Structure 1
Amino acid sequence: MVKLTDLVPAFRTTVQAVLDECAANGLVLRPYFVMRDPVTQGRLWRQSRPGAEVEARIEQLRAQGCDFLASCIERAGPSCGQEVTRAIPGLSWHQYGEAVDCYVVGPDGQPDWDSPDYAKFGQVGEAHGLRWGGHFGDNDHLQLRPIEPLAAFGSLKAINDAMMARWGAGA
Protein backbone atom coordinates (compact mmCIF):
# COMPACT_ATOMS: atom_id res chain seq x y z
CA MET A 1 0.00 0.00 0.00
CA VAL A 2 1.35 3.39 -1.00
CA LYS A 3 1.36 5.97 1.79
CA LEU A 4 1.94 9.65 1.08
CA THR A 5 2.99 9.86 4.73
CA ASP A 6 6.28 8.26 3.63
CA LEU A 7 7.11 11.51 1.82
CA VAL A 8 8.89 14.38 3.54
CA PRO A 9 6.22 16.70 5.01
CA ALA A 10 6.65 19.72 2.72
CA PHE A 11 6.62 17.51 -0.38
CA ARG A 12 3.65 15.46 0.87
CA THR A 13 1.57 18.62 1.31
CA THR A 14 2.44 19.83 -2.18
CA VAL A 15 1.75 16.45 -3.78
CA GLN A 16 -1.66 16.33 -2.13
CA ALA A 17 -2.41 19.82 -3.45
CA VAL A 18 -1.41 18.70 -6.97
CA LEU A 19 -3.60 15.58 -6.77
CA ASP A 20 -6.53 17.63 -5.43
CA GLU A 21 -6.20 20.26 -8.15
CA CYS A 22 -5.99 17.61 -10.86
CA ALA A 23 -9.05 15.82 -9.45
CA ALA A 24 -11.01 19.09 -9.29
CA ASN A 25 -10.34 19.38 -13.04
CA GLY A 26 -11.45 15.82 -13.81
CA LEU A 27 -8.00 14.23 -13.88
CA VAL A 28 -7.78 11.39 -11.39
CA LEU A 29 -4.28 10.20 -10.50
CA ARG A 30 -3.24 7.47 -8.12
CA PRO A 31 0.18 7.35 -6.48
CA TYR A 32 1.82 3.94 -6.85
CA PHE A 33 5.41 4.63 -5.76
CA VAL A 34 6.65 6.96 -3.06
CA MET A 35 9.51 5.85 -0.80
CA ARG A 36 11.67 3.20 -2.40
CA ASP A 37 14.40 1.41 -0.47
CA PRO A 38 17.81 1.18 -2.19
CA VAL A 39 17.61 -2.57 -2.83
CA THR A 40 14.29 -2.14 -4.62
CA GLN A 41 15.88 0.72 -6.59
CA GLY A 42 18.72 -1.65 -7.47
CA ARG A 43 16.26 -4.28 -8.68
CA LEU A 44 14.43 -1.76 -10.85
CA TRP A 45 17.73 -0.45 -12.23
CA ARG A 46 18.88 -3.99 -13.07
CA GLN A 47 15.81 -4.64 -15.21
CA SER A 48 16.67 -4.79 -18.90
CA ARG A 49 20.43 -4.52 -18.26
CA PRO A 50 22.81 -7.29 -19.28
CA GLY A 51 24.81 -8.98 -16.55
CA ALA A 52 28.09 -7.56 -17.83
CA GLU A 53 26.78 -4.00 -17.44
CA VAL A 54 25.53 -4.74 -13.93
CA GLU A 55 28.86 -6.29 -12.90
CA ALA A 56 30.81 -3.40 -14.39
CA ARG A 57 28.71 -0.89 -12.46
CA ILE A 58 29.18 -2.82 -9.20
CA GLU A 59 32.95 -2.87 -9.75
CA GLN A 60 32.95 0.85 -10.58
CA LEU A 61 31.04 1.66 -7.37
CA ARG A 62 33.40 -0.45 -5.25
CA ALA A 63 36.42 1.29 -6.83
CA GLN A 64 34.91 4.62 -5.74
CA GLY A 65 34.42 3.43 -2.14
CA CYS A 66 30.68 3.00 -2.58
CA ASP A 67 30.36 -0.48 -1.11
CA PHE A 68 26.85 0.14 0.25
CA LEU A 69 25.45 1.14 -3.15
CA ALA A 70 27.22 -1.80 -4.80
CA SER A 71 25.81 -4.22 -2.24
CA CYS A 72 22.27 -2.92 -2.79
CA ILE A 73 22.55 -3.74 -6.49
CA GLU A 74 24.02 -7.17 -5.68
CA ARG A 75 21.34 -7.98 -3.10
CA ALA A 76 18.62 -6.98 -5.57
CA GLY A 77 19.51 -10.04 -7.63
CA PRO A 78 18.80 -10.58 -11.30
CA SER A 79 15.74 -8.83 -12.65
CA CYS A 80 14.06 -9.04 -16.04
CA GLY A 81 11.66 -6.72 -17.78
CA GLN A 82 11.47 -3.38 -19.49
CA GLU A 83 13.69 -0.50 -18.44
CA VAL A 84 12.12 1.21 -15.43
CA THR A 85 14.83 3.60 -14.31
CA ARG A 86 18.28 4.79 -15.21
CA ALA A 87 19.01 5.66 -11.56
CA ILE A 88 21.08 3.31 -9.44
CA PRO A 89 20.37 3.26 -5.68
CA GLY A 90 20.91 6.69 -4.14
CA LEU A 91 20.46 8.54 -7.44
CA SER A 92 16.66 8.62 -7.21
CA TRP A 93 14.79 11.01 -4.93
CA HIS A 94 12.53 8.06 -4.12
CA GLN A 95 15.14 6.91 -1.58
CA TYR A 96 14.81 10.25 0.23
CA GLY A 97 11.01 10.55 0.28
CA GLU A 98 11.18 13.38 -2.25
CA ALA A 99 9.62 11.72 -5.32
CA VAL A 100 6.26 10.25 -6.23
CA ASP A 101 5.04 8.26 -9.24
CA CYS A 102 1.33 8.47 -10.11
CA TYR A 103 -0.71 6.89 -12.85
CA VAL A 104 -3.71 8.36 -14.62
CA VAL A 105 -6.85 6.42 -13.71
CA GLY A 106 -8.66 5.55 -16.93
CA PRO A 107 -12.42 5.42 -17.45
CA ASP A 108 -12.38 1.72 -16.55
CA GLY A 109 -10.64 2.45 -13.22
CA GLN A 110 -7.38 0.94 -14.46
CA PRO A 111 -4.04 2.67 -15.06
CA ASP A 112 -3.91 4.51 -18.37
CA TRP A 113 -0.20 4.59 -19.12
CA ASP A 114 -0.69 6.14 -22.56
CA SER A 115 -2.90 9.04 -21.48
CA PRO A 116 -2.02 12.47 -22.86
CA ASP A 117 -3.08 13.79 -19.44
CA TYR A 118 0.37 13.17 -17.98
CA ALA A 119 1.36 16.51 -19.51
CA LYS A 120 -1.41 18.21 -17.49
CA PHE A 121 -0.16 16.39 -14.38
CA GLY A 122 3.28 17.81 -15.09
CA GLN A 123 1.95 21.33 -15.65
CA VAL A 124 0.05 21.30 -12.38
CA GLY A 125 3.07 19.87 -10.54
CA GLU A 126 5.36 22.52 -11.96
CA ALA A 127 2.86 25.25 -11.09
CA HIS A 128 3.27 24.05 -7.51
CA GLY A 129 7.07 24.29 -7.75
CA LEU A 130 7.83 20.62 -8.37
CA ARG A 131 9.97 19.07 -11.10
CA TRP A 132 8.09 16.91 -13.57
CA GLY A 133 9.76 13.75 -14.82
CA GLY A 134 8.39 14.26 -18.31
CA HIS A 135 11.45 16.37 -18.99
CA PHE A 136 13.56 13.23 -18.71
CA GLY A 137 11.16 10.58 -20.05
CA ASP A 138 9.34 9.76 -16.79
CA ASN A 139 5.84 11.19 -17.31
CA ASP A 140 4.33 9.74 -14.13
CA HIS A 141 7.02 11.22 -11.84
CA LEU A 142 7.18 14.37 -9.70
CA GLN A 143 10.04 15.30 -7.41
CA LEU A 144 10.62 18.01 -4.86
CA ARG A 145 14.04 19.22 -5.97
CA PRO A 146 14.90 20.65 -9.38
CA ILE A 147 18.31 18.95 -9.28
CA GLU A 148 19.39 15.33 -9.11
CA PRO A 149 20.90 13.72 -5.97
CA LEU A 150 24.43 13.72 -7.39
CA ALA A 151 24.29 17.49 -7.79
CA ALA A 152 22.82 17.87 -4.29
CA PHE A 153 25.35 15.61 -2.54
CA GLY A 154 28.38 16.32 -4.71
CA SER A 155 29.74 12.79 -5.06
CA LEU A 156 28.72 9.14 -5.20
CA LYS A 157 30.74 8.56 -2.02
CA ALA A 158 28.66 11.18 -0.18
CA ILE A 159 25.48 9.51 -1.49
CA ASN A 160 26.80 6.09 -0.45
CA ASP A 161 27.41 7.38 3.07
CA ALA A 162 23.99 9.10 3.24
CA MET A 163 22.23 5.93 2.06
CA MET A 164 24.15 3.81 4.59
CA ALA A 165 23.19 6.23 7.38
CA ARG A 166 19.55 6.35 6.29
CA TRP A 167 18.93 2.70 5.50
CA GLY A 168 21.60 0.84 7.50
CA ALA A 169 23.78 -2.00 6.39
CA GLY A 170 20.85 -4.39 6.05
CA ALA A 171 18.78 -2.29 3.66
Structure 2
Amino acid sequence: MLDLLTDEFGALAEELLENCRQQGIIMVPYEKLRTPAVQANHWKAGRSAADIHDTRKRLLQQDCQFLLECIDKATPQQRHQSLTNALPGCSWHQWGEAMDCYWSLNGRDIWDIAYLDADNRNGYKVYATEARKLGLEAGYFWDSIQDGVHVQLRKEASPLVCYSLKMINDVMEEYFS
Protein backbone atom coordinates (compact mmCIF):
# COMPACT_ATOMS: atom_id res chain seq x y z
CA MET A 1 0.00 0.00 0.00
CA LEU A 2 2.74 2.48 0.90
CA ASP A 3 5.39 0.88 -1.30
CA LEU A 4 6.15 4.04 -3.32
CA LEU A 5 7.33 5.90 -0.23
CA THR A 6 10.93 5.82 0.95
CA ASP A 7 11.69 2.83 3.16
CA GLU A 8 12.12 5.01 6.26
CA PHE A 9 8.95 7.04 5.78
CA GLY A 10 6.93 4.05 4.54
CA ALA A 11 7.67 2.11 7.73
CA LEU A 12 6.75 5.09 9.91
CA ALA A 13 3.58 5.72 7.89
CA GLU A 14 2.47 2.09 8.35
CA GLU A 15 3.14 2.37 12.09
CA LEU A 16 1.20 5.64 12.22
CA LEU A 17 -1.84 4.13 10.52
CA GLU A 18 -1.73 1.11 12.86
CA ASN A 19 -1.41 3.32 15.96
CA CYS A 20 -4.48 5.25 14.82
CA ARG A 21 -6.40 2.00 14.11
CA GLN A 22 -5.64 0.79 17.63
CA GLN A 23 -7.43 3.89 18.91
CA GLY A 24 -10.41 3.29 16.64
CA ILE A 25 -9.39 6.00 14.16
CA ILE A 26 -9.25 4.82 10.55
CA MET A 27 -7.07 7.05 8.37
CA VAL A 28 -7.08 6.24 4.66
CA PRO A 29 -4.11 7.26 2.50
CA TYR A 30 -5.24 8.91 -0.70
CA GLU A 31 -2.10 10.64 -1.84
CA LYS A 32 1.42 9.41 -1.24
CA LEU A 33 4.08 9.73 -3.91
CA ARG A 34 2.86 12.56 -6.13
CA THR A 35 4.50 13.11 -9.49
CA PRO A 36 5.80 16.54 -10.50
CA ALA A 37 3.09 16.61 -13.19
CA VAL A 38 0.33 16.18 -10.60
CA GLN A 39 2.04 18.73 -8.34
CA ALA A 40 2.07 21.17 -11.27
CA ASN A 41 -1.68 20.67 -11.72
CA HIS A 42 -2.22 21.37 -8.02
CA TRP A 43 0.06 24.42 -8.10
CA LYS A 44 -1.40 25.89 -11.28
CA ALA A 45 -5.01 25.64 -10.09
CA GLY A 46 -6.31 29.11 -9.30
CA ARG A 47 -3.07 30.87 -10.29
CA SER A 48 -3.22 34.15 -12.14
CA ALA A 49 -1.66 34.48 -15.57
CA ALA A 50 0.82 36.96 -14.09
CA ASP A 51 1.87 34.51 -11.36
CA ILE A 52 2.36 31.74 -13.90
CA HIS A 53 4.34 34.09 -16.14
CA ASP A 54 6.62 35.20 -13.27
CA THR A 55 7.20 31.60 -12.19
CA ARG A 56 8.00 30.51 -15.75
CA LYS A 57 10.52 33.36 -15.98
CA ARG A 58 12.17 32.32 -12.70
CA LEU A 59 12.39 28.69 -13.80
CA LEU A 60 13.93 29.73 -17.13
CA GLN A 61 16.48 31.96 -15.38
CA GLN A 62 17.53 29.09 -13.12
CA ASP A 63 17.74 26.57 -16.00
CA CYS A 64 14.93 24.42 -14.60
CA GLN A 65 13.62 23.09 -17.91
CA PHE A 66 12.01 19.94 -16.48
CA LEU A 67 9.98 21.86 -13.88
CA LEU A 68 9.05 24.43 -16.52
CA GLU A 69 7.73 21.67 -18.79
CA CYS A 70 5.65 20.33 -15.89
CA ILE A 71 4.09 23.78 -15.42
CA ASP A 72 3.51 24.22 -19.16
CA LYS A 73 1.83 20.81 -19.52
CA ALA A 74 -0.31 21.21 -16.39
CA THR A 75 -4.05 21.06 -16.95
CA PRO A 76 -5.60 21.90 -13.60
CA GLN A 77 -9.28 21.85 -12.91
CA GLN A 78 -10.55 25.40 -12.70
CA ARG A 79 -10.56 26.66 -9.11
CA HIS A 80 -10.87 30.05 -7.48
CA GLN A 81 -7.94 29.39 -5.18
CA SER A 82 -4.74 27.40 -5.48
CA LEU A 83 -4.33 24.00 -3.85
CA THR A 84 -0.68 24.50 -2.91
CA ASN A 85 2.14 27.00 -3.00
CA ALA A 86 4.68 24.25 -3.71
CA LEU A 87 6.03 24.08 -7.24
CA PRO A 88 6.68 20.66 -8.78
CA GLY A 89 9.56 19.04 -6.90
CA CYS A 90 9.13 21.42 -3.97
CA SER A 91 6.77 19.19 -1.99
CA TRP A 92 8.00 16.21 -0.01
CA HIS A 93 5.35 14.18 -1.85
CA GLN A 94 7.61 14.10 -4.91
CA TRP A 95 10.40 12.71 -2.74
CA GLY A 96 8.28 9.87 -1.32
CA GLU A 97 8.41 11.44 2.15
CA ALA A 98 4.84 12.69 2.60
CA MET A 99 1.35 11.25 2.76
CA ASP A 100 -2.18 12.65 2.86
CA CYS A 101 -4.97 10.71 4.57
CA TYR A 102 -8.65 11.29 5.15
CA TRP A 103 -10.57 10.05 8.18
CA SER A 104 -13.09 7.26 7.61
CA LEU A 105 -15.73 7.13 10.32
CA ASN A 106 -18.39 4.40 10.17
CA GLY A 107 -17.98 4.18 6.41
CA ARG A 108 -18.20 7.97 5.91
CA ASP A 109 -15.31 10.04 4.60
CA ILE A 110 -14.74 12.94 6.99
CA TRP A 111 -12.90 15.85 5.35
CA ASP A 112 -13.71 18.49 7.97
CA ILE A 113 -10.55 18.60 10.10
CA ALA A 114 -12.52 20.10 13.00
CA TYR A 115 -15.16 17.32 13.09
CA LEU A 116 -15.76 15.55 16.40
CA ASP A 117 -17.13 12.02 16.61
CA ALA A 118 -19.76 10.83 19.12
CA ASP A 119 -16.98 10.41 21.72
CA ASN A 120 -15.87 14.01 21.15
CA ARG A 121 -12.68 12.87 19.37
CA ASN A 122 -11.14 14.45 16.31
CA GLY A 123 -9.57 11.83 14.03
CA TYR A 124 -7.23 14.35 12.44
CA LYS A 125 -5.91 15.46 15.80
CA VAL A 126 -5.32 11.82 16.84
CA TYR A 127 -3.53 11.23 13.50
CA ALA A 128 -1.34 14.32 13.95
CA THR A 129 -0.57 13.55 17.60
CA GLU A 130 0.43 9.99 16.74
CA ALA A 131 2.57 11.30 13.86
CA ARG A 132 4.42 13.61 16.25
CA LYS A 133 5.05 10.71 18.64
CA LEU A 134 6.85 8.97 15.76
CA GLY A 135 8.94 12.07 15.01
CA LEU A 136 6.94 13.00 11.92
CA GLU A 137 5.82 16.50 10.95
CA ALA A 138 2.04 16.92 10.97
CA GLY A 139 0.33 19.64 8.92
CA TYR A 140 -2.50 19.72 11.45
CA PHE A 141 -0.23 21.65 13.82
CA TRP A 142 1.14 24.17 11.29
CA ASP A 143 0.52 27.83 12.03
CA SER A 144 0.66 29.28 8.52
CA ILE A 145 -1.74 26.85 6.86
CA GLN A 146 -3.44 24.01 8.69
CA ASP A 147 -3.18 20.89 6.52
CA GLY A 148 -4.82 18.24 8.67
CA VAL A 149 -4.53 15.47 6.07
CA HIS A 150 -0.76 15.83 5.65
CA VAL A 151 2.17 14.18 7.41
CA GLN A 152 5.79 14.16 6.29
CA LEU A 153 9.13 12.76 7.33
CA ARG A 154 11.12 15.99 7.50
CA LYS A 155 10.66 19.05 9.67
CA GLU A 156 11.68 21.34 6.80
CA ALA A 157 8.61 22.73 5.09
CA SER A 158 9.97 22.21 1.60
CA PRO A 159 12.86 20.64 -0.29
CA LEU A 160 13.78 24.26 -1.15
CA VAL A 161 15.11 24.58 2.40
CA CYS A 162 17.59 21.79 1.65
CA TYR A 163 18.27 22.04 -2.08
CA SER A 164 18.52 24.66 -4.81
CA LEU A 165 15.75 24.88 -7.38
CA LYS A 166 18.20 23.69 -10.06
CA MET A 167 19.14 20.64 -7.98
CA ILE A 168 15.45 19.86 -7.42
CA ASN A 169 14.88 20.16 -11.18
CA ASP A 170 17.70 17.74 -11.91
CA VAL A 171 16.58 15.15 -9.33
CA MET A 172 12.97 15.32 -10.50
CA GLU A 173 14.04 14.93 -14.12
CA GLU A 174 16.14 11.90 -13.23
CA TYR A 175 13.36 10.23 -11.20
CA PHE A 176 10.33 11.08 -13.31
CA SER A 177 11.30 11.51 -16.96
Please give the TM-score of this superposition, normalised by the length of structure 1: 0.90
Q: Distance in 2 between matches of 1:67 and 1:111?
A: 39
- Give the structure 1 partner of residue 159 of structure 2: 149
Is there any run of 5+ residues in structure 2 with no aligned partner, and where? 116-121
Q: How does 1:18-37 map to 2 (within 5 A)?
A: 18-37=16-35
Q: How does 1:116-155 map to 2 (within 5 A)?
A: 116-134=122-140, 135=142, 136-147=145-156, 148-153=158-163, 155=164
**By how many angstroms is 1:77 displaced?**
2.7
Q: Is the 8 A contact 2:42 2:76 kept in 1?
A: no
Q: Distance in 2 between matches of 1:78 and 1:130?
A: 30
SS state of the match for residue 5, structure 1? coil
The one-letter code of the counterpart of 1:29 is M
SS state of the match for residue 110, structure 2? coil
Is there any run of 5+ residues in structure 1 with no aligned partner, and where? none
Given the superposition, is the C-alpha separation of residues 79 and 53 from structure 1 closer, same or farther in structure 2, using an over 3 Å criterion?
Answer: farther
Question: Quick check: 1:158 aligned with 2:164?
Answer: no
Q: Distance in 2 between matches of 1:110 and 1:43?
A: 27
The one-letter code of the counterpart of 1:113 is W
Higher helix share: 1
**By how many angstroms is 1:78 displaced?**
4.5
Question: Please, what is the CA RMSD of the aligned residues?
Answer: 1.3
**Cα displacement string for residues 65-109 of structure 1 (whole angstroms, at most 9, x for unaligned residues):** 1111111011113531253211110110111111000001133x2
Q: How many residues align?
A: 164
**Cα displacement string for residues 25-47 of structure 1 (whole angstroms, at most 9, x for unaligned residues):** 01111000001110110001111
Given the superposition, is the C-alpha separation of residues 55 and 78 from structure 1 closer, same or farther in structure 2, using an over 3 Å criterion?
Answer: farther
Question: Quick check: 1:76 aligned with 2:74?
Answer: yes
Question: Percent identity of the aligned residues?
Answer: 36
Q: Distance in 2 between matches of 1:102 and 1:132?
A: 11
- Give the structure 1 partner of residue 11 of structure 2: 13
The one-letter code of the counterpart of 2:161 is A
Please give the TM-score of this superposition, normalised by the length of structure 2: 0.87
Q: How does 1:88-107 map to 2 (within 5 A)?
A: 88-107=87-106
